[in-house]
Amino acid sequence: MTFANVLNRRTPPPSPGFSLVELMVAILIGLILTASIILVLVGNMHSYNVNNSSAKIQESGRYALATLLRDVRLAGYWGGYEDDVTNIEDAVDPAGTGCNSDTWARMVEQRIYGLNDTNNDGTATGNYTNADCIPASEYLRGDVLAVRHAAPITLDPAALTANRNYIITDIDKATVFTTNVAPAGFAQPASIRELVAHAYYVGMGNGTCSIGLNPSAGQALPSLYRVTVTGPGVSSKEEIVAGVQDFQVQYGVDIDGDSSIDDYVDADTVGADWADVIAVRLWLLLRAACIEPDYTATPTYTMAGVNKTCPANVRCQLFTSTIRLRNPRLI
């Protein structure tokens, strides 16, 4: 075999290559595959956002409900004192005083109190939950719920500070005080606790939708707030949970005193005798932070017998619970 023959055998035949049509078909298939992948990715991202939004609603709803339940269950707990609540010394009869007064926290006859779809109880200056407690500019919508009780934890007398609400109890008596020196004359061991007074309401909060291109990005969300009165004329406000669209409360009243609930009513139907309340039913309507343009359902949510809706394209979920007050009425 000559050298030329070897060269000829190793040279491959010329390739015919791709025709223009084949090239275009290949590009088209590539484009279809790429578009499919993008569609799957967009779909997954949308599913992730929806799931994330629903999970956040669940988490926020459960936390808000747990916070309220813990507080309401303690309503009327006075550190072990179980005699007539009207005998607690230096407590204040419910008298329509503002929560920045020195009396609001000490109205222990009202372990539970509420206002129906208003922050105004209709009384004049210094009223119950209006101007100086939940200003009109901060109240948004829904019911107001006030809860009072002694804190679960006892305090060392040396740890007391002035201008703070406390209650000291032994088995026979109880006294509310606001100084750093506990009243004398209590059988030992007496217990000293903070006197807790809270008011819950829905106001406009600071939370926003964080997804940049969402139409609702940057818009403030309504939130569940809690005012805490810690001392005479001293109150503070905290945002419990963002994304609370509405908050409703009804009260289980025992009118005939047989410890069985006769009816569930709104706050303005309870009347003057809040001691009749032995259960509380709560509704919290939680909303997603962001608008979902393709979420077009318009469900209604029945809260305290009234149908409520959420803003267009906003996913919502209703949370509800009924709590029997653990501490007996003591009047």
117 binds Ca ion (CB under 5 A): yes
Considering only 262, 295, 313, 321, the residue that binds Ca ion (CB under 5 A) is 262
Binding flag, residue 178, Ca ion (CB under 5 A):
no
- How many Cα atoms within 13 Å fall on the side-chain side of residue 198? 24
- Minimum Å gap between C-beta 73 and Ca ion is 21
Task: Tell whether residue 294 is a contact of Ca ion (CB under 5 A).
Answer: no
Choosing from 124, 256, 297, 298, the residue that interacts with Ca ion (CB under 5 A) is 256
Residue 260 binds Ca ion (CB under 5 A): yes
Cα radius of gyration rounded to whole Å, the chain: 32
Give the integer Cα–Cα distance in Å for 203 and 244: 9
Nearer to Ca ion, 104 or 201 (CB): 201
Residues 6+ positions from 82 with CB-CB distance below 8 Å: 328, 330
DSSP 93-148: ------TTSSSGGG-TT-SEEEESS-S--S-STT-SSTTTTS-TTTEEEEEEEEEE
| Minimum CB distance to Ca ion, residue 262 (Å) | 4
Q: Output b/e per residue, 263-302; b: 16+ Cβ within 10 A.
A: ebbbbeebeeebbbbbbbbbbbbbbbbbbbeeeeeeeebe
Distances (CA, A) of 13 to 3, 8, 19, 22, 217: 19, 10, 18, 21, 64
When asked if residue 254 is in the footprint of Ca ion (CB under 5 A), the reply is yes
DSSP per-residue letters across 70-106: HHHHHTT--TT--S-GGGSBT--------TTSSSGGG
Nearest approach, Cβ of residue 110 and Ca ion (Å): 18
As measured in angstroms, the least distance from the Cβ of 127 to Ca ion is 18
Measured CA to CA, the distance from residue 212 to residue 230 in angstroms comes to 40
Quote the least distance from Cβ 130 to Ca ion, whole Å: 17
User: Is residue 307 close enough to count as binding Ca ion by CB under 5 A?
Assistant: no
Least distance between Ca ion and beta carbon 74 (Å): 23
Binding mask 198-237 for Ca ion (x = CB under 5 A): ----------------------------------------
Q: Does 246 bind Ca ion (CB under 5 A)?
A: no
Q: Cβ 84 to Ca ion, closest distance in Å? A: 20
Q: Mask 97-116, x = binds Ca ion (CB under 5 A)?
A: -------------------x
* Closer residue to Ca ion in complex, CB, 117/121: 117
The Cβ-side half-sphere exposure at 10, using a 13 Å CA radius, reads 5
Place of tokens 């959420």: 310
Which CB sits closer to Ca ion, 84 or 256?
256
The backbone torsions φ and ψ at residue 242, rounded to the nearest 5 degrees and listed phi first, read: -85, 155
Tell me the residue type at 55. A
Backbone φ and ψ of 82, nearest 5°: -130, 20
Q: Which stretch binds Ca ion (CB under 5 A): 58-66, 201-209, 280-288, 303-311?
A: 303-311
Question: Which region among 68-76, 150-158, 223-231, 246-254 touches Ca ion (by CB under 5 A)?
Answer: 246-254
Q: Which of residues 133-162 bind Ca ion (CB under 5 A)?
A: 143
Binding site for Ca ion (CB under 5 A): 116-117, 143, 248, 254, 256, 258, 260, 262, 304
